[in-house]
């Protein structure tokens, strides 16, 4: 059951740190001057969250790719991390093959499948995480390994202690977090969510949107501030009785973005019946993101129950993969 997997997220973070500490990685032959992370869905969102978290200290540019192709600049001086929980994501497998042709330094994060086979066959580093779960329920495993890879290559500092402290923080706050999540789910049950964050937290907004799609089986959208102030804001010109606006709001936003959120909130409140701020909790930037993720996962579990849908099944995606495999 999805609720059991969500409940186990703090423990997963602890296990993920242990896996990372025991991971065997190799130094690249050539110097690294850029990073490309390849992955989609539940396996790819970790790259987005990682990039946001380390961008203030990363010694080289980091790009996250969520398609078949890789940028032309990928070469022997590029660290390419391929993340596919199943190991059979066709887009990631194609990106792996192309990166190998260009002599990039490759690291794979997977539970098995073709990606692990290819990594072993080509002598590439691979970190193996536990199999048998929906990819979206394994973010703790994959995200932690991404931090490990960057720390090993000297691109960012180690985040192991922050991950462990986050796991403890989530357990301590779980009772109140779950109550708040249930209340929010009850508000959202007959609404279309519109999710906003600043650009520094877009990974959290995307994760929430993805979980709404896969767990609650509903459509929604997200955008970021300040970009939406230059386009989408114009759409808030008349009433939208079926919308619910959710704003992920950090305690340490850029002062101008903080002011923008206040101004935008007044506009949203004029045209939508529900406008809710979701404040960050935690000490570090990573702890705040993981709190939001854990809170959001519980919201969408409760919402799936209220909507009488199976939070685990993804029949539409399974059918798409089957159709793709047949051609």
Instruction: Tell me the pLDDT of the chain (327 aa) as tens digits.
Output: 899 999 999 999 999 999 999 999 999 999 999 999 999 998 999 999 999 999 999 999 999 999 999 999 999 999 999 999 999 999 999 999 999 999 999 999 999 999 999 999 999 999 999 999 999 999 999 999 999 999 999 999 999 999 999 999 999 999 999 999 999 999 999 999 999 999 999 999 999 999 999 999 999 999 999 999 999 999 999 999 999 999 999 989 999 999 999 999 999 999 999 999 999 999 999 999 999 999 999 999 999 999 999 999 999 988 888 889 876
Catalytic residue ranges: 214, 230, 321
Q: What is the reported pTM?
A: 0.96
Q: Give the orientation angle of helix 285-306 with respect to helix 202-214, to 10 degrees.
A: 20
Q: Which residues contact 303 (CB under 8 A, 6 or more apart)?
A: 185, 188, 189, 212, 215, 216
pLDDT at 50: 97
Would you say the C-alpha torsion 76, 109, 208, 317 has a positive or negative sign? positive
Question: Which phi and psi angles does 288 have, rounded to 5°?
Answer: -65, -45
pLDDT at 1: 84
Cis peptide before 39 (omega within 30 of 0): no
- Could you give all domains of the chain from N- to C-terminal order, each with its CATH number? 2-158 (3.40.50.10490), 174-306 (3.40.50.10490)
Token readout for 259 is 């002011």
Neighbouring CB atoms inside 10 A of 282's CB total 19
In the block, tokens 């650009």 appear at 199
């Amino acid at each position: 059951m999805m609720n059991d997997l969500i409940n186990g997220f703090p423990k997963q973070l602890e296990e993920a740190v242990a896996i990372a500490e025991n991971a065997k990685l190799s130094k690249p032959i050539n110097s690294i001057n850029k990073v490309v992370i390849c992955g989609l869905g539940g396996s790819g969102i970790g790259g987005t969250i990682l990039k946001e978290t380390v961008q203030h200290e990363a010694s080289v540019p980091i790009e996250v790719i969520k398609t078949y192709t890789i940028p032309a600049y990928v070469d022997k001086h590029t660290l390419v991390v391929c993340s596919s929980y199943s190991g059979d994501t066709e887009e990631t497998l194609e990106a792996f093959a192309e990166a190998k042709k260009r002599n990039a330094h490759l690291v794979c994060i997977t539970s098995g499948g073709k990606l692990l086979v290819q990594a072993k066959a080509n002598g590439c580093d691979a970190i193996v995480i536990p199999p048998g779960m929906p990819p979206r329920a394994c973010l703790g495993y994959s995200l932690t390994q991404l931090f490990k890879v960057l720390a090993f290559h000297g691109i960012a500092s180690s985040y192991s202690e922050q991950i462990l402290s986050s796991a403890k923080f989530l357990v301590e706050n779980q009772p109140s977090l779950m109550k708040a999540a249930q209340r929010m789910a009850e508000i959202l049950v007959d609404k279309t969510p519109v999710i906003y964050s600043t650009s520094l937290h877009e990974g959290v907004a995307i994760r929430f949107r993805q979980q709404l799609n896969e767990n609650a089986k509903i459509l929604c959208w997200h955008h970021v501030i300040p970009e939406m102030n230059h386009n989408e804001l114009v759409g808030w010109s008349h009433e939208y009785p079926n919308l619910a606006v959710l704003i992920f709001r950090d305690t340490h936003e850029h002062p101008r973005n903080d002011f923008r959120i206040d101004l935008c909130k007044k506009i949203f409140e004029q045209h939508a019946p529900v406008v809710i701020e979701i404040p960050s909790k935690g000490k570090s930037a990573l702890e705040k993101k993981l709190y939001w993720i854990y809170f959001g996962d519980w919201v969408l579990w409760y919402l799936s129950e209220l909507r009488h849908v199976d939070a685990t099944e993804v029949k539409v995606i399974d059918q798409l993969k089957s159709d793709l495999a047949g051609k």
